[in-house]
């Protein structure tokens, strides 16, 4: 019987803004004038190709000198910044102030949008008395994002890779979440979008439910079906 739920963050409960908006916000922050339309579009394309936006599209290819760092990017805040800073530079961003603004922008609550059914699903779990943990591979503190979007009171525990020094699919991170919820792994449902990373919860005996990592406006009801998995309210 399911008595608690673990959720991934990016692509599961919230989704980061599109790459073009991310770049626009950083340009506005720095006061750098946008390039002509064609050059601006090319910059967006390169940032997308290199997967430079954390939480955005995955890199289509990773420069060889960043491969090892990329694999361990969520172990610490320093590695996360180094990995994504490297991808931003690889995408052709040469102005240091713009590169810094791009990295900083993705951590702003305004850069994140809850999926339409995130709040209703979390409220329903709260109504049913099922505790919730957010389990994320991440290099920074996402709690302000949840507070800003009015979701923090619906989360009982945050288990973040950079705070533990390990990342999904390592069972250690899922075990920590179960312990903080005070439940056995078999009693905790893991909900995420990454088959490999989030699927690591199965090694502990947790049931797993996957959702599609889509833009927020293209996935209006991806979380709602999991309530059916939990049985009658």
Per-residue pLDDT tens digits for 19-73? 999 999 999 999 998 889 899 999 999 999 999 999 999 999 899 999 999 999 9
CA pair distance 160, 77, nearest whole angstrom: 11
Angle formed by the axes of helices 77-90 and 96-105, nearest 10°: 130
Is the pLDDT assigned to residue 232 strictly greater than 80?
A: no
Q: 91, 22 in Cβ contact below 8 A?
A: no
Q: Which residues contact 74 (CB under 8 A, 6 or more apart)?
A: 80, 137, 138, 139, 161, 162, 167
In whole angstroms, what separates CA 47 from the centre of its chain? 18
Average pLDDT over residues 70-86: 98
CA pair distance 75, 89, nearest whole angstrom: 21
Q: Residue 178 has which token pair? A: 């179960």
- pLDDT for position 228: 84
CA pair distance 145, 131, nearest whole angstrom: 19
CA pair distance 213, 194, nearest whole angstrom: 8
Complete domains list, the chain, with CATH: 4-15+111-229 (3.40.50.1000), 17-110 (no CATH)
Q: 45, 105 in Cβ contact below 8 A?
A: no
- pLDDT for position 151: 98
Q: 218, 34 in Cβ contact below 8 A?
A: no
- pLDDT for position 61: 86
Sign of the torsion angle spanned by Cα atoms 220, 210, 81, 91? negative
């Amino acid at each position: 019987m399911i008595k608690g739920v673990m959720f991934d963050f990016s692509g599961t409960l919230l989704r980061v803004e599109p790459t073009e908006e991310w770049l626009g916000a950083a340009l506005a922050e720095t006061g750098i004038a946008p390039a002509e339309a064609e050059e601006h579009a090319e910059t967006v394309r390169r940032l997308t190709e290199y997967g430079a936006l954390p939480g955005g599209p995955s890199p289509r290819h990773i420069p060889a000198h960043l491969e090892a760092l990329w694999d361990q990017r969520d172990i610490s805040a320093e590695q996360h910044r180094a990995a994504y800073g490297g991808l931003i530079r690889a995408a052709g961003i040469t102005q240091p102030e713009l590169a810094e603004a791009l990295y900083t922008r993705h951590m702003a609550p305004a850069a994140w949008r809850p999926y339409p059914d995130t709040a209703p699903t979390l409220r329903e779990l709260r109504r049913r008395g099922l505790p919730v943990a957010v389990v994320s591979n991440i290099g920074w503190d996402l709690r302000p994002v949840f507070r800003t979007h009015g979701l923090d009171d619906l989360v009982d525990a945050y288990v973040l890779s950079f705070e533990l020094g390990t990342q999904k699919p390592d069972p250690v991170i899922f075990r920590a979440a179960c312990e903080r919820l005070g439940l056995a792994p078999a009693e905790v449902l893991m909900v995420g979008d990454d088959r490999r990373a989030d699927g690591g919860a199965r090694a502990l005996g947790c049931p797993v439910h996957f959702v599609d990592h889509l833009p927020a406006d293209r996935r209006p009801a991806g979380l709602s079906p999991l309530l059916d998995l939990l049985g009658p309210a």
